[in-house]
Amino acid sequence: MKQLFAFIVLLLLASLPAQAEIYRGVDEDGNVFYSDKEQPESELIPTPTSNTVTMPKPVAKPHSAPQNTEIAYKAFTILSPANDSIIRDNTGNLSVTLSIEPELNVKNGDFIRLSIDNQVVTPKTTSLSTLIPDIDRGSHSLKAELVSGSGKSILSHSIQFHLKRFSTLH
């Protein structure tokens, strides 16, 4: 049992991160003891040197200017519905189809915002076709805005349309 205890103590001492001298001795009763200080009739136990690693100093990367990924859009239009068209849909759904040239730069965060009668109905989309539900009957203005990732309006296109919904009175 004493040998197992001595072995465990030796392992614990060997696992210490600091390099220290370890002395082993036997007292008058025959008990083995270990110490970091030299005692009468103790002997120095050779310990292996600790492993050290010298890490290279980090090198600062040169600051690079942000890349300009802004695209100069040539065309942005509402293809459907056509300007001043009459839409007959009893559910009040409006199908909107857009065209953009060149294609939308989603990597830069560009997006499309749709408004009906100056009320935003689709705050942020990257789709060129959208269904806007539950529009009241009557004449409306539809505005499509092409917005940069920073929130700046790049291009816009507006049309007028007229939605006809059947009623129980007519």
Per-residue model confidence (pLDDT) at position 142: 95
Per-residue model confidence (pLDDT) at position 36: 83
Token pair belonging to 42: 């103790």
Token pair belonging to 128: 């060129």
Per-residue model confidence (pLDDT) at position 114: 95
CA distance 145 to 132: 15
DSSP 169: T
Task: Please report, in tens digits, the pLDDT of each residue of the chain (170 residues total).
Answer: 677 777 776 666 665 555 568 888 888 888 888 888 888 788 888 877 777 888 888 888 776 655 555 678 899 999 999 999 999 988 899 999 999 999 998 888 999 999 999 999 999 999 999 999 989 989 999 999 999 888 899 999 999 999 998 776 65
Distance of CA 110 to the CA centre of its chain: 17
Range list for CATH 2.60.40.10 in the chain: 75-164
CA distance 42 to 6: 15
Whole-structure pTM value: 0.57
CA distance 94 to 76: 19
HSE of 46, CA atoms in CB hemisphere, 13 A: 1
CA distance 123 to 147: 10
CA distance 101 to 110: 13
The CATH number fitting domain 75-164, selected from 1.10.1200.10, 2.60.40.10, 2.60.40.420, 3.20.20.80: 2.60.40.10
